[in-house]
C-alpha cells in the first residue's frame, strides 16, 4: 500500500511547477545576463562565453520565472570562475503555465487551476524561456555530485515512469464558448480569458491512436491519461463518454459549449499498443471536436531510441535501499556519456556503462525521483544576451503596478523614483489614484470611475494594491 501511495504522489507531482510572480528576486544594482532557451535540455555555459573572469564561483546564481534554479559548477577547484570553467543547468522552454493567472473561474471569480486550454503553449506564442544569471552577491543553489561505486551489484529495474504527449498548439486558437476560432491567434480585443481558451485543433471524431514506446506490463496497477478538449457547438445536450482502449473512464451529460480537462486512472490491463484515446457522444450529434492536448503517463520499458537524447524519467525508491535503473538501446561505443540530473535532491551523476547497458544508480533515499536523463553529446549552449531588469517596486513584491504606454515610460519612472524616495507618504493624500481590483481596472485620463471616490485626472493608469 505504501508503494502505491508513493507512485501516485510521484505521477501527480513529477512535473509540477511553482512560480513567483513578485520581483523580490531582483537585486538592485546587481549585474544580469539573459540566457535564452527554446528547447528542454541540459545547457552548459563557459566563463569566457559570458565574459566572466575571477568572480567567486559560489556567487553564480540563475533565476527562472522568479525562482532560483540550481547550477552545477566546475571551476577547477579554485573557487574562482574564469576561462574554460563552466556551469550547467536544466533549461526548460517557455510554456503557458504562467498565463494561467489570467484565467478566472466563471462563478468563483478567482484563479483556478486547469482553465488554460493549452498550457503547453503561451498565449503570446513565444516558446523561448529567459533565464537570468547574476553574480557577486550571496551564494547560489548547487547540484552536488553523486556516485555509487557498487552500482553494478545492486538490484535493478528496467522501466521508468514516462509521459507521452501530443499537443495541438500549432493548429489554431479558440477564444472560448461563443467566441472565435481562428487559425493564427486571438484577433479580437476581449481581455477576458475563458475556461478552455487557447490553442488546439479541430479533431472530429475526437479520437487519437498512439503507438507508445514499449509499455512495461505488470509493474503498476494502472496508468494515467489526461486530455483537454472543448465543444464548439453553442447549444445542444450531449452525453459524452471517455474511453481508453475501450475502457470507459467516465460518462457525463453536458450542455454545449463545454470544456473538459479530465485526468483518468486506467487499469494496467488496458495499457497496450496501439493505444486509443477517444470521446464519443450519443444523442443529438457530437460537439466535442476540439482538442488541446493528450498526455499519457505510463510505465515505459528502459529501452531508449536514437531520438531519446533528452528525456524526463520518473522513478520511485520505495525502500530507501540502493538500486540501479538499467537502460538499453543507447549507443555506448561512441564515447558518449549519459548524464542524470535529479532536481528534487539537487544531485548530478553519470550512468555507468556495462555489457552494452547503462546502469543509472538510484540514491538510497526513500522518495520519488523526477530525473532528467541526457546524452552528453546533446548538451547545448544557450543564447546569451544583455539583460535589462528594472524592479519598479524596489521592494520584495510589487505593491504598485504601473500600466503605461511606452510614450509615458519616463513619467512612470519618475513616479517610481518618487515613491521609492518617499516611502512613508500616503499616496491618497498626495496623488489622485485609482484604487481597484482586477475586475475593474480603469485606464485613461479625465474620466470618472463609478464607485471610486479617488477618481480624477491622471497621466497614466495605476492599479494599486489589488486583492483579486
Using the minimum distance from each CB to Ca ion, give the nearer residue, 78 or 145.
78
Shortest Å distance, C-beta 72 to Ca ion: 15
Residues found near Ca ion in the complex (CB under 5 A): 75-76, 78, 80, 85
Residues 6+ apart with CB under 8 A from 325: 156, 157, 158, 160, 302, 313, 315, 359, 360, 362
Using the minimum distance from each CB to Ca ion, give the nearer residue, 71 or 194.
71
Q: Could you give the 3-state DSSP secondary structure of residue 159?
A: strand
Contact 41, 379 (CB under 8 A): yes
Shortest Å distance, C-beta 220 to Ca ion: 46
Shortest Å distance, C-beta 425 to Ca ion: 48
Query: Measured between alpha carbons, how far is residue 414 from residues 204, 362, 402, 411 in Å?
Result: 55, 55, 11, 5
Query: Measured between alpha carbons, how far is residue 356 from residues 82, 303, 327, 330, 430 in Å?
Result: 38, 12, 9, 8, 75
**DSSP line for 7-37:** HHHHHHHTT------S-TTPPTT---EEEEE
Q: How far apart are CA 260 and CA 280, in angstroms?
A: 14
Using the minimum distance from each CB to Ca ion, give the nearer residue, 20 or 78.
78
Using the minimum distance from each CB to Ca ion, give the nearer residue, 76 or 444.
76
Shortest Å distance, C-beta 112 to Ca ion: 49
Using the minimum distance from each CB to Ca ion, give the nearer residue, 80 or 280.
80
Q: Which of 51, 57, 84 is nearest to 71 (CA)?
A: 57
Using the minimum distance from each CB to Ca ion, give the nearer residue, 75 or 148.
75
Shortest Å distance, C-beta 380 to Ca ion: 22
C-alpha cell at 234: 453553442
Shortest Å distance, C-beta 74 to Ca ion: 9
Shortest Å distance, C-beta 59 to Ca ion: 13
**DSSP line for 228-269:** EEEE--SS-EEEEEEEETTEEEEEEEEESSEEE--EEEEEGG
Using the minimum distance from each CB to Ca ion, give the nearer residue, 59 or 411.
59
Shortest Å distance, C-beta 77 to Ca ion: 7
Q: How far apart are CA 401 and CA 393, in angstroms?
A: 8
Q: Which of 206, 190, 297, 188 is nearest to 258 (CA)?
A: 206
Q: How far apart are CA 305 and CA 329, in angstroms?
A: 6
Using the minimum distance from each CB to Ca ion, give the nearer residue, 81 or 238.
81
Amino acid at each position: 500500500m505504501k508503494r502505491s501511495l508513493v507512485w501516485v504522489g510521484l505521477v501527480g507531482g513529477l512535473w509540477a511547477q511553482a512560480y513567483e510572480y513578485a520581483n523580490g528576486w531582483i537585486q538592485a544594482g546587481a549585474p544580469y545576463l539573459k540566457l535564452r532557451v527554446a528547447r528542454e535540455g541540459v545547457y552548459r555555459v563557459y566563463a569566457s562565453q559570458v565574459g566572466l573572469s575571477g568572480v567567486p564561483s559560489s556567487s553564480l546564481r540563475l533565476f527562472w520565472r522568479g525562482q532560483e534554479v540550481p547550477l552545477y559548477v566546475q571551476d577547477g577547484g579554485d573557487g574562482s570562475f574564469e576561462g574554460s570553467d563552466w556551469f550547467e543547468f536544466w533549461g526548460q522552454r517557455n510554456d503557458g503555465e504562467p498565463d494561467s493567472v489570467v484565467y478566472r473561474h466563471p462563478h468563483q471569480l478567482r484563479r483556478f487551476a486547469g482553465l488554460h486550454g493549452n498550457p503547453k503553449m503561451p498565449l503570446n506564442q513565444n516558446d523561448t524561456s529567459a533565464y537570468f544569471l547574476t553574480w557577486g552577491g550571496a551564494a547560489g543553489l548547487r547540484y552536488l555530485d553523486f556516485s555509487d561505486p557498487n552500482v553494478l551489484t545492486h538490484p535493478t529495474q528496467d522501466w521508468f515512469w514516462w509521459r507521452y504527449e501530443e499537443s495541438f498548439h500549432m493548429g489554431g486558437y479558440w477564444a472560448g464558448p461563443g467566441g472565435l476560432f481562428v487559425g493564427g491567434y486571438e484577433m479580437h480585443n476581449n481581455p477576458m480569458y475563458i475556461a478552455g481558451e487557447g490553442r488546439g485543433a479541430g479533431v472530429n471524431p475526437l479520437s487519437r491512436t498512439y503507438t507508445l514506446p514499449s509499455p512495461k506490463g505488470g509493474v503498476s496497477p494502472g496508468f494515467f491519461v489526461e486530455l483537454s478538449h472543448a465543444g464548439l457547438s453553442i447549444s445542444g445536450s450531449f452525453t459524452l463518454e471517455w474511453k481508453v482502449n475501450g475502457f470507459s473512464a467516465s460518462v457525463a451529460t453536458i450542455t454545449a459549449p463545454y470544456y473538459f480537462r479530465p485526468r483518468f486512472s486506467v487499469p494496467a490491463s488496458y495499457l497496450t499498443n496501439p493505444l486509443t484515446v477517444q470521446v464519443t457522444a450519443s444523442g443529438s450529434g457530437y460537439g466535442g471536436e476540439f482538442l488541446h492536448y493528450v498526455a499519457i503517463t505510463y510505465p515505459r520499458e528502459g529501452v531508449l531510441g536514437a531520438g531519446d537524447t533528452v528525456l524526463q524519467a520518473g522513478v520511485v525508491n520505495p525502500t530507501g535501499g540502493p538500486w540501479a535503473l538499467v537502460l538499453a538501446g543507447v549507443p555506448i561505443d561512441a564515447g558518449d556519456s549519459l548524464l542524470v540530473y535529479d532536481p528534487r535532491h539537487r544531485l548530478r551523476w553519470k550512468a555507468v556503462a556495462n555489457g552494452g547497458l547503462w546502469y543509472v544508480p538510484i540514491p538510497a533515499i526513500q522518495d520519488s525521483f523526477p530525473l532528467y536523463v541526457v546524452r552528453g553529446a546533446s548538451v547545448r549552449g544557450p543564447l546569451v544576451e544583455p539583460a535589462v531588469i528594472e524592479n519598479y517596486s524596489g521592494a520584495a513584491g510589487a505593491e504598485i503596478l504601473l500600466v503605461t504606454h511606452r510614450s509615458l515610460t519616463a513619467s512612470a519612472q519618475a513616479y517610481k523614483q518618487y515613491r521609492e524616495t518617499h516611502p512613508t507618504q500616503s499616496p491618497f493624500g498626495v496623488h489622485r489614484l485609482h484604487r481597484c481590483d482586477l475586475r475593474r481596472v480603469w485606464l485613461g485620463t479625465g474620466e470618472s470611475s463609478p464607485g471610486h471616490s479617488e477618481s480624477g485626472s491622471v497621466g497614466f493608469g495605476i492599479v494599486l494594491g489589488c486583492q483579486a
